[in-house]
Amino acid sequence: MGKVKVLLITGRSMRQGVGKESGKASQKYFESVAFCEIHPKDLEKLGIKPGANVKVSTKSGSIVVKAMPASTIDEEGKIFIPYGPYVSLLVDAETASSGMPTFKGLEAYIEPALEEKILNIEELVKKYYRGK
């Protein structure tokens, strides 16, 4: 148990692509972006099972998402979260004057967050963007 240091990769996935076409407020979209692919060995290190909630943190922020078994991550020490509002909380806004933030290869930490809830999209907007 404890934190594991990883490289965070973000990108497209078919589910996210299908999910976004169903509408950003849809459950399908939520399910397609609020998760994190983790290598089985890293799950083991964290002492958690697939489906558990994990907290992912970078120097820019942290967010709780669902841990999923890896389908594309083929080595430990790497995690994948699809493009979307969850990973956007973790991405650095610096672009090295290129206009492009670094979406791939962010230094991140994962830790179990079994007690914490995953925000839905509306809650996320309220908490981070347009809180009343």
In the structure encoding, which two tokens stand for residue 26, read together? 């849809």
Q: 30 to 59, contacts with other proteins by CB under 8 A?
A: none
Please choose, out of 41-49, 69-77, 111-119, the segment that lies near other proteins by the rule CB under 8 A. Answer: 69-77
* Close Cβ partners of 116 (under 8 Å, ≥ 6 residues apart): 53, 55, 64
Could you say whether residue 121 binds other proteins (CB under 8 A)? yes
Could you say whether residue 69 binds other proteins (CB under 8 A)? no
Please choose, out of 48-56, 88-96, 112-120, the segment that lies near other proteins by the rule CB under 8 A. Answer: 88-96
Answer whether 108's CB lies under 8 Å from 56's CB: yes
In the structure encoding, which two tokens stand for residue 92, read together? 């650095």
CA distance 107 to 126: 27
Could you say whether residue 123 binds other proteins (CB under 8 A)? no
CA distance 106 to 119: 22
Q: Which of 31, 44, 116, 122 binds other proteins (CB under 8 A)?
A: 122
**Strand 35-38 relative to strand 104-112: parallel, antiparallel, unpaired?**
unpaired
Query: Could you list the residues that contact other proteins (CB under 8 A)?
Result: 7, 9-14, 17-18, 21-26, 60-61, 72-75, 78, 80, 83-85, 88-89, 91-105, 121-122, 124-125, 128-130, 132
